[in-house]
């Protein structure tokens, strides 16, 4: 391929990119990177071809030939790390051809796509199993909080009320930041407003606004109202009133979930992080997956996978590069498990249109106390020809498989036996939870794949099986990720308390605790609420029964204390705290009574459910089941509920004393 200009990623004497834009030509293959806009680069290419034709004694191109040459060209944008293809959504065939040509001179990992706001672009990449080429890098919740706090800046040395995007150079003013203007001395107040008004109409070298309002969806009317404040004609009191009016109008125009400006507000934190990390030429992930819960925002690390063409599975060419180079960076994304998962689905589904796989980079739990060494979770986007919308699924690998037992020093046969027993135990516990009323996903599948065991012991290099569960993705919002502002609606708060009270009762009955730390797991990501058209909670589903039957020897009265935190941590958000507590504790008591009554009426069905399983007082599943039923039968539901109320009141009283 002929190149006019410097090679891609070439830098000048100052260490900056020699060129920020390029144009790739596909009819007569070539690349122009000489400085200038894309239109100028097209002229340069035509001039180059005509010069070559003249040197060969051939006539210049006709207008029709020039049009054909230009019609088969694709715009490129260069960043220090990526070549960004800017496709014409109506000619995705050209963009794919350009991608193939670029891969001859640049690693595929460094090539991404722009214009993903277009469904045609997104669909074309999805169909190739290439979600990873649209999405940004994942970022953890803690990283988001640090990023936001670290982005706060001031103008002219006064309060740090702006949030600075280092990639675009734009400073974002929030509604609370606007309200903060009122606290400034009159002369500084006027100076700051004038400066903000001026910067809201000024652009930096990237062509981006120097100052903009957050969120970026803020109506233009609010921006106009702020810019229209006449700083010079208003006296001090009138100026503060004008600022206050802008603030109130701004707040009312914001989505409810963004009105609480705090990193503790999950929606606000996500949106601010997205805004601060957006680059001037960066692809968008807003519509990458329809219907995904907020807590998954930027938590999925999309992996190179495979595309399906005429029923044939074609793995991403990045795998070829990895096998050829053994590049350590590629080893992080070319994961054998992903390849095995795709292989399994291809064997089970004969009508796959496309499949994309991402791994959950880090735990999404508010207090991730489970081990991160095992139990990896993957997100699947699978489209079949017979379904209009893709299926969204979650795969979780077992925490204790053959490899993990081999790590303990056990021999291969014993490791296989214990891994099989653990798999049975996992599914037995799911049935136990269902029997006691836990609202789990309706269907869960089971799968396995072969992996090469890597360790320093005698089994290094042995092929073993890894086991996993697969279920449909549960839409909704995790209980601990609901924006605080929503609890200020009394109807929402009461319905939430009722649903959580019922779920807490079941959670207590099944003795759910961390298997490693024995800490309580309730209200830490697994409880997902669904909402009705009016925005009120209508149901609650528990996405995983992890940790169930860990606590099976202590009485319910002894174990109930941690469930007081459900209402206590929301105390400052609800309007009527007493009613909130009553709704939670009342639903809690009624659910225990209901499950207890159902057990007593159908005792035989419960008692004999696992009579075919080994009964071992050392802690077998059947023994834990028997002890759980015995504890349920002997408990006094009203006494357990009263103990819960007592724990809530004790904590509240201790809090008042500290104040």
Per residue in 45-64, pLDDT (tens digit) is: 999 999 999 999 999 999 99
Q: Give the dihedral of Cα atoms 220, 226, 229, 232; nearest 10 deg.
A: -130
**pLDDT grade for 34, boundaries at 50, 70 and 90:** very high
What's the pLDDT score for residue 369? Answer: 36
Joined together, the tokens standing for residue 613 give 């399983």
What's the pLDDT score for residue 133? Answer: 87
Between 207 and 471, the more confident residue is 471
Residues in the chain: 659
What's the pLDDT score for residue 465? Answer: 94
Sheet holding 527-531, edge to edge: 477-478, 527-531, 537-542
Q: Could you tell me if 272 and 105 are in contact, meaning their C-beta atoms sit under 8 angstroms apart?
A: no
Q: Could you tell me if 521 and 513 are in contact, meaning their C-beta atoms sit under 8 angstroms apart?
A: yes
CA distance linking residue 586 with residue 505, whole number of Å = 10
What's the pLDDT score for residue 286? Answer: 47
What's the pLDDT score for residue 655? Answer: 55
186: left (phi over 0), alpha (psi -120 to 50) or beta: alpha
CA distance linking residue 245 with residue 226, whole number of Å = 9
Per-residue pLDDT tens digits for 212-253: 999 988 999 999 999 999 999 999 999 999 999 999 999 999
Say yes or no to pLDDT of 117 above 90: no
Give me the chain's average pLDDT, please: 89
What's the pLDDT score for residue 146? Answer: 87
Q: Tell me the whole-structure pTM to 2 decimals.
A: 0.78
Ramachandran angles phi, psi of 464, nearest 5°: -125, 170
Q: Could you tell me if 197 and 227 are in contact, meaning their C-beta atoms sit under 8 angstroms apart?
A: yes
User: Which of 204, 257, 198 has its CA nearest to residue 488?
Assistant: 257
User: Which of 379, 405, 374, 403 has its CA nearest to residue 392?
Assistant: 379
Rounded mean pLDDT, 452-467: 93
311: left (phi over 0), alpha (psi -120 to 50) or beta: left
User: Which of 316, 390, 393, 303 has its CA nearest to residue 351?
Assistant: 390
Q: Which residues contact 578 (CB under 8 A, 6 or more apart)?
A: none
What's the pLDDT score for residue 417? Answer: 96
Q: Could you tell me if 144 and 270 are in contact, meaning their C-beta atoms sit under 8 angstroms apart?
A: yes
Q: Could you tell me if 163 and 214 are in contact, meaning their C-beta atoms sit under 8 angstroms apart?
A: yes
Rounded mean pLDDT, 400-408: 94
Buried/exposed code over 409-433 (b: 16+ C-beta within 10 A; e: otherwise): ebeeeebbebbeebbebbebbbebb
Say yes or no to pLDDT of 372 above 60: no
Joined together, the tokens standing for residue 362 give 């880090």
Say yes or no to pLDDT of 137 above 90: no
Alpha helices in 384-483 (DSSP H): 402-407, 412-435
Count the neighbouring beta carbons within 10 Å of the beta carbon of residue 282: 17
Per-residue pLDDT tens digits for 285-337: 445 566 676 566 567 888 998 888 888 999 999 999 999 998 988 888 898 89
Between 273 and 591, the more confident residue is 591
Say yes or no to pLDDT of 9 above 60: yes
**pLDDT grade for 19, boundaries at 50, 70 and 90:** confident
CA 419 to the chain's CA centroid: 31
How much of the chain exceeds pLDDT 70, in percent? 92
Say yes or no to pLDDT of 127 above 60: yes
CA distance linking residue 113 with residue 99, whole number of Å = 9
Q: Which residues contact 571 (CB under 8 A, 6 or more apart)?
A: 577, 652
Per-residue pLDDT tens digits for 547-568: 999 999 999 999 999 999 999 9
Buried/exposed code over 244-259 (b: 16+ C-beta within 10 A; e: otherwise): eebbebbbeebeebbb
Say yes or no to pLDDT of 41 above 90: yes
Say yes or no to pLDDT of 658 above 80: no
What's the pLDDT score for residue 595? Answer: 98
Say yes or no to pLDDT of 393 above 70: yes
User: Which of 134, 101, 476, 176 has its CA nearest to residue 287?
Assistant: 134
Per-residue pLDDT tens digits for 349-370: 889 999 999 988 654 444 443 3
What's the pLDDT score for residue 529? Answer: 95
CA distance linking residue 187 with residue 195, whole number of Å = 12
Rounded mean pLDDT, 627-654: 91
Contacts 24+ apart (CB under 8 A), 171-175: 171/199, 171/210, 171/211, 171/212, 172/211, 172/212, 172/213, 172/214, 172/272, 172/275, 172/276, 173/211, 173/212, 173/213, 173/214, 174/213, 174/214, 174/261, 175/247, 175/250, 175/251, 175/254, 175/259, 175/261
Rounded mean pLDDT, 558-584: 96
Beta strands (DSSP E) in 494-561 are 527-531, 537-542
Which residue in this structure is represented by tokens 């589903």? 541
Between 588 and 165, the more confident residue is 588
Rounded mean pLDDT, 80-85: 88
Ramachandran angles phi, psi of 233, nearest 5°: -95, -15
CA 340 to the chain's CA centroid: 23
Which residue in this structure is represented by tokens 């990720």? 481
Say yes or no to pLDDT of 283 above 60: no
Task: Please tell me the least confidently modeled range out of 107-121, 483-497, 510-524, 545-559.
Answer: 107-121
User: Which of 358, 265, 377, 299 has its CA nearest to residue 143?
Assistant: 299
CA distance linking residue 572 with residue 568, whole number of Å = 8
Joined together, the tokens standing for residue 536 give 């009120």
What's the pLDDT score for residue 279? Answer: 63
What's the pLDDT score for residue 515? Answer: 87
Helix (H, G, I), strand (E, B) or coil at 259: coil
CA distance linking residue 603 with residue 549, whole number of Å = 19
Strands 444-452 and 391-397: unpaired
What's the pLDDT score for residue 659? Answer: 46
CA distance linking residue 201 with residue 442, whole number of Å = 54
User: Which of 198, 91, 217, 103 has its CA nearest to residue 155?
Assistant: 198
State yes or no: cis peptide before 215, omega within 30 of 0. Answer: yes
Between 250 and 283, the more confident residue is 250
Looking at the DSSP assignment, which residues form a beta bridge with residue 352? 384
CA distance linking residue 85 with residue 79, whole number of Å = 11
What's the pLDDT score for residue 657? Answer: 52
Cα dist. 176→272, 334, 404 in Å? 14, 44, 50
Between 154 and 494, the more confident residue is 494
Q: Could you tell me if 621 and 435 are in contact, meaning their C-beta atoms sit under 8 angstroms apart?
A: no
Q: Could you tell me if 337 and 298 are in contact, meaning their C-beta atoms sit under 8 angstroms apart?
A: no
Helix (H, G, I), strand (E, B) or coil at 381: strand
Q: Could you tell me if 615 and 623 are in contact, meaning their C-beta atoms sit under 8 angstroms apart?
A: yes
What's the pLDDT score for residue 79? Answer: 83
CA distance linking residue 15 with residue 574, whole number of Å = 55
Q: Could you tell me if 540 and 529 are in contact, meaning their C-beta atoms sit under 8 angstroms apart?
A: yes
């Amino acid at each position: 391929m002929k190149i006019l200009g410097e090679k891609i990623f070439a830098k000048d004497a100052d260490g900056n990119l020699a060129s920020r834009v390029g144009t790739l030509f596909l009819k007569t293959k070539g690349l122009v990177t000489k400085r200038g806009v894309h239109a100028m680069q097209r002229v340069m290419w035509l001039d180059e071809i005509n010069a070559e034709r003249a040197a060969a004694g051939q006539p210049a191109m006709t207008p029709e030939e020039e049009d054909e040459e230009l019609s088969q060209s694709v715009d490129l944008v260069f960043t220090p790390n990526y070549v960004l293809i800017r496709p014409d959504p109506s000619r995705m065939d050209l963009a794919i051809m350009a991608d193939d040509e670029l891969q001859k001179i640049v690693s595929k990992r460094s090539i991404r796509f722009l214009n993903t706001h277009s469904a045609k672009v997104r669909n074309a990449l999805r169909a190739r199993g290439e979600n990873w080429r649209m999405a940004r890098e994942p970022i953890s919740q803690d990283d988001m909080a640090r990023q936001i706090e670290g982005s706060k800046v001031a103008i002219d040395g006064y309060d740090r009320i702006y949030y600075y995007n280092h990639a675009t150079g734009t400073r974002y003013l929030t509604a609370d930041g606007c309200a903060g203007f009122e606290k400034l001395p009159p002369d500084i107040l006027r100076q700051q407003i004038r400066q903000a008004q001026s910067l809201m109409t000024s652009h930096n070298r990237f062509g981006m606004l120097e100052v903009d309002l957050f969120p970026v969806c803020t109506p233009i009317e609010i921006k106009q109202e702020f810019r229209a404040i006449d700083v010079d004609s208003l006296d001090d009191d009138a100026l503060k009133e004008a600022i206050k009016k802008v603030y109130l109008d701004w707040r009312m125009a914001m989505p409810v979930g963004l009105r609480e400006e705090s990193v503790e507000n999950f929606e606000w934190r996500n949106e601010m992080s997205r805004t601060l990390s957006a680059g001037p030429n960066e692809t968008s992930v807003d519509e990458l997956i329809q219907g995904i819960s907020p807590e998954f925002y930027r938590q999925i690390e999309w992996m190179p996978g495979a595309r399906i063409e005429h029923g044939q599975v074609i793995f991403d060419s990045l795998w070829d590069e990895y096998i050829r180079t053994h590049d350590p960076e590629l080893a992080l994304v070319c994961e054998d498990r992903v390849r095995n998962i795709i292989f399994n689905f291809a064997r089970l589904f004969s009508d796959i249109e496309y499949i994309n796989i991402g791994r959950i980079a880090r735990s999404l739990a508010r207090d991730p106390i489970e081990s991160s060494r095992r139990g990896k979770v993957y997100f699947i986007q699978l489209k079949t020809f017979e379904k209009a919308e893709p299926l969204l699924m979650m795969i979780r690998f077992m925490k204790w498989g053959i490899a993990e037992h081999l790590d303990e020093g056990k021999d291969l046969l014993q490791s296989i036996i214990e891994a099989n027993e653990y798999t049975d135990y996992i599914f037995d516990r799911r049935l136990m939870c269902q029997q006691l009323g836990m609202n789990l996903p309706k269907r869960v599948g089971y799968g396995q794949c072969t992996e090469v065991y890597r360790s320093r012991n005698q089994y290094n290099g042995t092929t073993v099986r890894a086991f996993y569960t697969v279920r449909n993705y549960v839409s909704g919002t995790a209980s601990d990720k609901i924006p605080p502002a929503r609890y200020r609606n009394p109807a929402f708060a009461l319905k939430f308390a009722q649903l959580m009270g019922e779920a807490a009762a079941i959670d207590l009955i099944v003795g759910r605790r961390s298997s490693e730390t024995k800490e309580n797991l309730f209200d830490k990501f697994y409880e997902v609420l669904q909402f009705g058209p009016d925005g009120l909670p209508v149901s609650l589903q528990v996405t995983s029964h992890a940790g169930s039957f860990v606590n099976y020897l202590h009485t319910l009265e002894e174990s109930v204390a941690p469930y007081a935190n459900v209402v206590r941590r929301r105390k400052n958000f609800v309007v009527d705290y007493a009613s909130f507590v009553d709704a939670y504790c009342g639903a809690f008591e009624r659910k225990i009574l209901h499950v207890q009554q159902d057990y007593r009426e159908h005792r035989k069905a419960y008692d004999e459910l696992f009579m075919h399983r080994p009964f071992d007082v050392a802690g077998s599943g059947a023994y834990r089941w028997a002890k759980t039923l015995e504890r349920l039968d002997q408990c006094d539901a009203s006494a357990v509920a009263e103990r819960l109320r007592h724990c809530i009141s004790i904590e509240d009283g201790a809090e008042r004393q500290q104040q």
